[in-house]
C-alpha cells in the first residue's frame, strides 16, 4: 500500500540509523536462534548418548559421577572394582550381557577405553542403534589392537594398519608414554554423535599388557621391563576394572538387581539406571541452559529498545514530514500507522538478516562444532518453535512501534498543519 | 448556489488559558476568487488557517466551507473534508524530500478518493494529471518527475507544491507565504502561474502573506488586523 511505500522511503532517507537498528535486531535474533538451536541439539544428543543399557555399575560414588566417566569420558573413577565382582554379575542368570570398562589412559587428548568384544555387540545409543564399523574389524586375540572412534580417526588422520602409542593418564599432554608397546589400528567405527566417537577402544588384555610391568603407578626400569613380545605370552587377565554395563533378560528385574548390587557384600558398588542419571545430569545443566536462553531474550529486548529509541528520537525532526502528510490528507491514524509500519519494516529486516546470519554461521561452524563439541547443528528450516519465537519478536516490535506511533498521533493532532522549522 | 466558498461568522478562538486570539465578525471568500490576506506574524494567521482546515475548533461562531458547517463534522470527517476540497502550499520545504517529484504531486490523490477520481476524469489518470500540471507550471522535463524532490531548486519545489495543491481540482487553494523564499522576479511569475492554474481548475485562492507589494495582483485584498477585533487592543 501507499503508506508502506512512504514508510520505506522515509526509512531509506535515514538509512544509516535504520541499517544500524536493523543490524542490532539481526544480531540479537541470530543469538537467540543460535542458543535455541544449540539447546535443542544438545538436549537431543545428550539423551541419545546411551540406550539399551539397563544398569551401569561402578565403585561407590555419586550416580552423576559414574555416568560422567563411564559414558561421557569426563572425570575419573574414585576407585576400581574387582574383576571377580564383574564375573559374579556377568554370570548371573538374570543378566543377558555385560560389558566391562577400564579407563585411565589416553592418546593425544582422547580417552582410551579397555573393554571386551561384547561392547561392539551390545552397546547401543540413539534409538537403540548398535555400533557399526566403518572400516576393518573389532579387536581380536592380539592384545595390541585398537579400534578408533570416528572422530579420533578423522582428527588424527589414522587409517587401518597405523601404529600409535598410548599415554598414561588422561592429561592432554602426557609425559609418560607406553611407547614400548605400540598399538595397531584394526578398525574404525562409524560416526555416532556420542562420546564413542572420541574414544580409542582396546581389549582388556591390551590394557593389562601395557601396565603389566608397572608398580605403584610408575613404569619399571631396566631389567624389570617386559617387552610387548613377552607380554603376549603372559596371562593378561585384569585384576580390576573401572565399571561395567549390564543388559538384563527381563527389564522388570532391573530394580531388584540394582538393589542387590548396591548391597553387594564383597565390595562397595553402585548401580545406576542410565536414564535416571541422564535426567539428573540434564537438570543440573538445564539451569545454565535456561539462563542462556533468558539472557538471549534480554538481548533481543535490548535490540528492540534500540529500535524504539531510534524511532522516538527521529520523531521531533520529522514533525515537518508529519505536517506535510497531514496537509495532503493523511489523518492522524495514518501518521500512527506509518510509524508502526516503520517498526514492522525494521523488525522484518532484522529478523530476515538474523536468519541469514544464523545460517551463514551454521554453515561456517558446523564442521568445527561437530568435531570439537560433538554437536550436530542442522542447516534446517526453522522449527515451529523457532517460528513462534520469531513471530513473538515481530509482535513485540509492533507493540514497541505503537509507542512512537501513539506519540506521533498525539503530536500530529496538536501540530495540525503548522510546520515547525 | 451562489453561497460563498468560505463563510465565516462571529468566530472567536483562544488557546487554552490565553486571551482571545481571533474575533472575526465576518469573513468570506467567493468561488473562483483570488483573495490576498495580509497577516504579519503573530496576527493569528496560522490559527485561522488551522480553523479553516478543520484542525482546530472554534469556541464560538461558525465556519462554513462549501455550505458545510465544519463544527458539525467529527475529527475524521473534517480531515477527509479538508483533503477533498482544499490544497495547501506552504512557505518552504513543502515536499517530502525522500519521495520523487511525481509521488509528491500525487500524494493528495492517495489520501482522497474524490480528488483521485477528479484527476483521472480530467486527465485520464493520476500520473497524467501530475505530469500535465507540472508541465503547465513550467516543469515539463520528464526526467525531472523521477528525481528526488529535494534535488530541485527552491523555485522548482514551490511549483511542485503548487501542482500538488491543484491536483484533483480542490475548490480551495490555501497558500501560506508561498513566495517568501523566492526572489522578486520568480515571485511574481509564480503568482501569475498560480492564478492561471487556479482559474483553469476553477479553484478559489486564499493567499496569506505579510508582503503588501503583492496585493495589487489579486481580485481583492484584506488585512487580518482589520478583520480581527481581538488584535485591535494589542495594537494600541
Q: Which residues of B touch A2 (CB under 8 A)?
A: 110
Percent of chain A residues topping a pLDDT of 70: 95
**pLDDT one-digit tens code per residue, B128-146:** 888 888 888 888 888 888 8
Neighbouring residues of A265: CB distance < 8 A, sequence distance ≥ 6? none
Q: What is the pLDDT of residue B2?
A: 61
Lookup result for grid cell 550381557: A97
CA pair distance B134, B156, nearest whole angstrom: 10
Q: Which residues of A touch B49 (CB under 8 A)?
A: 417
- Widest pairwise Cα distance in chain A: 105
Residue A379's pLDDT band, with cuts at 50, 70 and 90, is: confident
Whether the complex's predicted ipTM is more than 0.90 is answered with no
The reply to whether residue B88 touches residue A328, judged by beta carbons under 8 angstroms, is yes
Residue of A nearest to B49 (CA): A417
Q: Is A361 or A48 the better-scoring residue by pLDDT?
A: A361
Residue of B nearest to A13 (CA): B98
**pLDDT one-digit tens code per residue, A201-258:** 999 999 888 888 777 667 777 767 778 778 787 888 888 999 999 999 988 989 999 9
- Give the number of beta-carbon pairs within 8 Å between A and B: 64
Q: Which residues of A touch B56 (CB under 8 A)?
A: 416
Other beta carbons less than 10 A from residue A25's beta carbon: 26
Other beta carbons less than 10 A from residue B50's beta carbon: 18
**pLDDT one-digit tens code per residue, A383-418:** 888 999 999 999 999 999 999 999 888 887 777 776
Q: Is B171 or A174 the better-scoring residue by pLDDT?
A: B171
C-alpha cell, A393: 519478536
The reply to whether residue B108 touches residue A328, judged by beta carbons under 8 angstroms, is yes
Q: Which residues of A touch B164 (CB under 8 A)?
A: 328
CA pair distance B134, A148, nearest whole angstrom: 81
**pLDDT one-digit tens code per residue, A255-310:** 999 999 999 888 999 999 998 888 888 888 888 888 988 998 999 999 999 999 98
Residue A421's pLDDT band, with cuts at 50, 70 and 90, is: very low
Q: What is the mean pLDDT of residues B74-99?
A: 84
> CB of A182 within 8 A of CB of A111?
no
Measured CB to CB, residues of chain A less than 8 Å from chain B are 2, 5-6, 9-10, 12-13, 320-321, 324-332, 334, 416-419
Other beta carbons less than 10 A from residue A273's beta carbon: 17
Neighbouring residues of A3: CB distance < 8 A, sequence distance ≥ 6? A334, A337, A338, A341
The C-alpha of B194 sits at a distance from chain A's nearest C-alpha, in angstroms, of: 18
What phi and psi, each to the nearest 5 degrees, are found at residue B2? -90, 20
Residue B83's pLDDT band, with cuts at 50, 70 and 90, is: confident
Amino acid at each position: 500500500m501507499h503508506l508502506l511505500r512512504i514508510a520505506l522511503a522515509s526509512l531509506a532517507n535515514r538509512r544509516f540509523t535504520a541499517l544500524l537498528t536493523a543490524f542490532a535486531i539481526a544480531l540479537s535474533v541470530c543469538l537467540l536462534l543460535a542458543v535455541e538451536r544449540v539447546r535443542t541439539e544438545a538436549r537431543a544428543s545428550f539423551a541419545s548418548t546411551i540406550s539399551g543399557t539397563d544398569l551401569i555399575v561402578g565403585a561407590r560414588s555419586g550416580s552423576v559421577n559414574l555416568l560422567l566417566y563411564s559414558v561421557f569420558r569426563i572425570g575419573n573413577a574414585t576407585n576400581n572394582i574387582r574383576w571377580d565382582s564383574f564375573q559374579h554379575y556377568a554370570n548371573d542368570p538374570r543378566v543377558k550381557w555385560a560389558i566391562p570398562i577400564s579407563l585411565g589412559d589416553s592418546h593425544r587428548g582422547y580417552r582410551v577405553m579397555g573393554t571386551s568384544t561384547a561392547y561392539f555387540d551390545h552397546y547401543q545409543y540413539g534409538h537403540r542403534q548398535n555400533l557399526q564399523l566403518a572400516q576393518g574389524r573389532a579387536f581380536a586375540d592380539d592384545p595390541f589392537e585398537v579400534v578408533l572412534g570416528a572422530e579420533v580417526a578423522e582428527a588424527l588422520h589414522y587409517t587401518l594398519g597405523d601404529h600409535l602409542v598410548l599415554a598414561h593418564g588422561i592429561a592432554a599432554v602426557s609425559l609418560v608414554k607406553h611407547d614400548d608397546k605400540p598399538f595397531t589400528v584394526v578398525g574404525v567405527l562409524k560416526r555416532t554423535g556420542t562420546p564413542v566417537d572420541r574414544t580409542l577402544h582396546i581389549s582388556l588384555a591390551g590394557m593389562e599388557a601395557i601396565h603389566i610391568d608397572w608398580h605403584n603407578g610408575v613404569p619399571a626400569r631396566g631389567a624389570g621391563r617386559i617387552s610387548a613380545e613377552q607380554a603376549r605370552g603372559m596371562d593378561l587377565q585384569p585384576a580390576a576394572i573401572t565399571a561395567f554395563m549390564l543388559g538384563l533378560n527381563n527389564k522388570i528385574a532391573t530394580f531388584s538387581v540394582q538393589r542387590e548390587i548396591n548391597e553387594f557384600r564383597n565390595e562397595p558398588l553402585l548401580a545406576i539406571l542410565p536414564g535416571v542419571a541422564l535426567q539428573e545430569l540434564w537438570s543440573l545443566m538445564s539451569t545454565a541452559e535456561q539462563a542462556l536462553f533468558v539472557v538471549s531474550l534480554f538481548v533481543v529486548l535490548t535490540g528492540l529498545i534500540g529500535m524504539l529509541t531510534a524511532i522516538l528520537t527521529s520523531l521531533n525532526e520529522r514533525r515537518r514530514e508529519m505536517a506535510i502528510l497531514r496537509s495532503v490528507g493523511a489523518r492522524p491514524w495514518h501518521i500512527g500507522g506509518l510509524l508502526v509500519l516503520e517498526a514492522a519494516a525494521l523488525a522484518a529486516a532484522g529478523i530476515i538478516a538474523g536468519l541469514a546470519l544464523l545460517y551463514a554461521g551454521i554453515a561456517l561452524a558446523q564442521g568445527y562444532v561437530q568435531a570439537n563439541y560433538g554437536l550436530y547443528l542442522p542447516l534446517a528450516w526453522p522449527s515451529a518453535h523457532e517460528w513462534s519465537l520469531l513471530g513473538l519478536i515481530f509482535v513485540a516490535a509492533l507493540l514497541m512501534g505503537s509507542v512512537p506511533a501513539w506519540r506521533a498521533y498525539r503530536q500530529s493532532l496538536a501540530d495540525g498543519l503548522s510546520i515547525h522549522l | 448556489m451562489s453561497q460563498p466558498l468560505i463563510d465565516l461568522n462571529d468566530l472567536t478562538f483562544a488557546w487554552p488559558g490565553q486571551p482571545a486570539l481571533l474575533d472575526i465578525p465576518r469573513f468570506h471568500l467567493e468561488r473562483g476568487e483570488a483573495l490576498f490576506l495580509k497577516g504579519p506574524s503573530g496576527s493569528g494567521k496560522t490559527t485561522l488557517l488551522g480553523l479553516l482546515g478543520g484542525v482546530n475548533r472554534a469556541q464560538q461562531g461558525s465556519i462554513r466551507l462549501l455550505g458545510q458547517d465544519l463544527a458539525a463534522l467529527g475529527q475524521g470527517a473534517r480531515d477527509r473534508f479538508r483533503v477533498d476540497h482544499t490544497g495547501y502550499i506552504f512557505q518552504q520545504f513543502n515536499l517530502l524530500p525522500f519521495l520523487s517529484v511525481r509521488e509528491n504531486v500525487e500524494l493528495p490523490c492517495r489520501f482522497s478518493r474524490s480528488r483521485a477520481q477528479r484527476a483521472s476524469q480530467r486527465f485520464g489518470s493520476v500520473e497524467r494529471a501530475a505530469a500535465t500540471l507540472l508541465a503547465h507550471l513550467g516543469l515539463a522535463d520528464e526526467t525531472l518527475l523521477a528525481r528526488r524532490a529535494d534535488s530541485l531548486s527552491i523555485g522548482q519545489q514551490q511549483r511542485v507544491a503548487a501542482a500538488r495543491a491543484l491536483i484533483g481540482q480542490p475548490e480551495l487553494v490555501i497558500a501560506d507565504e508561498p513566495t517568501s523564499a523566492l526572489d522578486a522576479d520568480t515571485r511574481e511569475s509564480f503568482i501569475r502561474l498560480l492564478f492561471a492554474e487556479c482559474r483553469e481548475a476553477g479553484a478559489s485562492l486564499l493567499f496569506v502573506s505579510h508582503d503588501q507589494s503583492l496585493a495589487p495582483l489579486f481580485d481583492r485584498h484584506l488585512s487580518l488586523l482589520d478583520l480581527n477585533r481581538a488584535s485591535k487592543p494589542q495594537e494600541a
